[in-house]
Structure 1
């Protein structure tokens, strides 16, 4: 726990200079709401044909297409190839990116090409480790979708392969490089909320699509889908369109709500507070509504314990997912501290600081005589617990990205490609990716075992 994270030091730094005021909430009155802009300066260059980074997409599904569209917004990037096990998606790749791109149903054809600098891996989770390691060994830079791994024991192989190759490997929690995360980290380190006590994260959905009941194309058959290759090392099973197109619903290929959604929250949380992650998890939940053959829950609640470190106090985190939220849906991610709370989004951060009442109110004084009440009030007043400074340092400040902000997804790829060009540092390397994925997978482990599970966040291993 850093001693500087206190109300006193925060207010002191905020009032020293106008420059300090740009990195910390203003000293607000209790009734004031302030709005501040977020901004980022990009370095733009013109790239010739020989300077472009050629990319290939492996897994031309929903997320793969969104990833590629975001990647192509970065200057100097060109897509030259795409891979998928369903022929209809290869046709879609040509519709989107031109008839001249190379398409294949075998990812090894992609890795063997000399004209490809980097690959985007957006396959089902059970293929992430195999293809990522193979791509690094083939000398390709890699952007691998989250979660980095399906199982705890797969991550070390990716870490070793990246270190041996010397190539850039970015894990794809696409909100990681956002303006919101960047500002939240700065504010947290400035002591804006004091010592963290709790994280509250939730994601509510109320649609079949939100619950992973994705549409199945009418031409999907064993001829247009390479189902045997899709299965990979998973248990053999007869051809099944649901398993191929709705793979997130099955433990054999996906990682449930934890791997799809928890991992984003852990990426942001660990980044903002500079943490290696939790050391204990306890999960519950169940399959409440979407009983379509899936074997993962559609409602999940997991409680995590974070130990004390040099960058944060010990605290608890609550993660909640509901795929049948009658409220209509929504989400939130809020850090709650001893001196305030911070709500973090990709495009905004809001800090709310309230006055902590340290003197008794009428509620607790009612059982005492009027004379005793007066004596107690005098005693508390002499201690000067409720100071004017603390009263002034309250209110709400929101930092908001401009309307023309390119977005977190763009920023994550901008970081990836800039690192490739400059041999720079990426924001989510394989070690970071394993810590985020490992923490998320603890939810599945606890749910399956029906008991708490322990995790070593530094060694990234189950205990």
Structure 2
């Protein structure tokens, strides 16, 4: 009998686009071998929930891996569901399609799910999946509200599941190196962090349009307030669409902020904590920012980024980092400086989805579990609350409560429509 792949072997194989052959006479559900931990000869049966833009990459990835089988696809758009099914049946003729995610979770042979829905559905599906015994990969930001985040963290612990938030920059070499440079004090005490998020157009009220045949708009809205259907409201678009509306996310704070604020948290060693003050643009500065209790200020869309996405400014140097493994430093020598034995080394992952699959096998935490995803999402949500209310928000990261502002504190959660209560 073969053994479960070790870390080096797994990641090496996970980094290659190996076509799945499904030549074995039977694919065993991972949880049937070893009390919820995959056995050495098992593959992981995966359900893909929400087959819009981001799921296209996930479909390609998990279809091509030797450790995974795409066993189910789900979407509220019938046409999108059928298209995803046709794609996945190229490798697995047994793949099934569903319009309702509950049917996916009812299948005892599904080991894990990937959640690629709009933000307002992340928490409910993630909790329901973990309650059903599934491991979870959920896109960023992990939740729509702060209280939802607390609930997902509690569910991860309660049900003993593996969860990965899709904050994939943690699995890119340049971002890890940048965080290690900052964490080890090579640029001295950090004074400021500049994060380039960009902007969306102002939210717009669109005229009502007929709901397309084959689309469950009522369920798409889910827990959010009812609004007349318009194709722009539900559009899958990285430049806007549903991301443009406060009802379904935190706009750019929850879009690029979920990536760049996450790396900032990591570099500043704040994964179990957070800032204490959130200030909207124009209150006392011409930019939006938040601050930690030691005075480090994180500034949105302001200053010279020097061609990068994130810029850490310290008393003795700087670190600038972007995707595609772009890393620049001042002094220049820091970028190539090796870590000393006494230096802090951060969790190393070179493939975010492979890290999740490896963790399903080993039952060890992912690089971005629920507790980390919640703290990052909290920053996105608090920045959004400050922006919407137009005033400074004070935050206690220990009690996880908004301070001295009862009206603002109401925004830690949002009312949910009847029939869409959050699972427990």
Q: Normalised by the size of structure 1, how large is the TM-score? A: 0.68
Equivalent position to 1:447, from 381, 387, 393: 387
Per-residue CA deviations over 1:80-130 (Å, capped at 9, x if unaligned) read: 111111112112202422263211110001100112111011111111111
The 5-angstrom pairing of residues 91-240 of structure 1 reads: 91-98=82-89, 100=93, 101-204=95-198, 221-240=211-230
Of residues 314, 317, 320, the one that matches 2:298 is: 317
Deviation at 1:350, TM superposition (A): 1.9
- State which of 314, 319, 335 in structure 1 corresponds to 2:312: 335
Question: Secondary structure at the residue paired with 2:320?
Answer: strand
Which protein has greater RCO, CA pairs closer than 8 Å, 6+ apart? 1
| CA deviation vs aligned residue, 1:414-445 (integer Å, no higher than 9, x gap) | 11111110111211111111110111111211
Gaps of 5+ in 1: 1-38, 214-219, 286-299, 309-313, 322-329, 354-394, 401-407
User: Would you say 1:78 and 2:72 are equivalent positions?
Assistant: no
CA separation in 1, counterparts of 2:356 and 2:124? 21
Aligned to 1:359: none
Q: Quick check: 1:352 aligned with 2:330?
A: yes
Say whether residues 1:419 and 2:414 are aligned partners.
no
SS of 1:66's partner is helix
**Equivalent residue number for residue 403 of structure 1:** none
Deviation at 1:348, TM superposition (A): 3.3
Describe the SS at the equivalent of 1:225: coil
Contact 2:174 2:321 in 1 (8 A): yes
The separation in 2 between residues aligned to 1:211 and 1:409, in whole angstroms, is 35
**C-alpha separation between the residues in 2 aligned to 1:221 and 1:147?**
28
Say which of 244, 256, 260 aligns to 2:255.
Answer: 260
* Structure 1 residue 178, shift from structure 2 partner: 1.5
Shift in CA distance, 349/75, structure 1 to aligned 2, threshold 3 Å: farther
For residues 244 and 169 of structure 1, the distance between their equivalents in structure 2, rounded to whole angstroms, comes to: 27
SS of 2:192's equivalent in the other structure is strand
After TM superposition, the structure 1 = structure 2 runs for residues 249-288 of structure 1, keeping only pairs within 5 Å, are 249-275=244-270, 276-284=273-281
Task: List per-residue Cα deviations over 1:290-323 (Å, max 9, x = no partner).
Answer: xxxxxxxxxx942111123xxxxx31110129xx
Structure number, greater radius of gyration: 1
Corresponding residue pairs, total: 342
Q: CA, structure 1 residues 234+42, in 2 after alignment: closer, same or farther (shift >3 Å)? A: closer
* Aligned-partner Cα distance in 1 for 2:59–2:266: 24
Kindly indicate whether residue 80 of structure 2 is the aligned counterpart of residue 89 of structure 1. Answer: yes
The whole-number CA distance in structure 2 between the counterparts of 1:200 and 1:144 is 27
2:378 aligns to what?
A: 438
- 1:79·1:97 contact (CA, 8 Å) conserved in 2? yes
Q: How far does residue 244 in structure 1 lie from its aligned partner after superposition?
A: 1.8
1:256–1:416 distance in 2 versus 1, CA, 3 Å = same
1:61 partnered with 2:52: yes
Q: How much does 1:284 deviate?
A: 2.5
- What do residues 346-375 of structure 1 show as CA deviations (whole Å, max 9, x unaligned)? 41322212xxxxxxxxxxxxxxxxxxxxxx
Q: CA RMSD in A?
A: 3.1
Residue 204 of structure 1 and its aligned partner are, at CA, apart by 4.1
Task: State the alpha-carbon separation in 2 of the partners of residues 253 and 194 from structure 1.
Answer: 39
- Structure 1 residues 444, 434: closer, same or farther in 2, change over 3 A? same
Stretches of structure 2 lacking an aligned partner (at least 5 in a row): 1-7, 29-41, 204-209, 236-240, 338-347, 404-424
Task: Sort the Cα spacing of 1:40 and 1:303 in 2 relative to 1 into closer, same or farther, 3 A.
Answer: farther
Kept in 2: contact 1:119–1:143 (CA 8 A):
yes
Name the structure with the higher strand share: 1
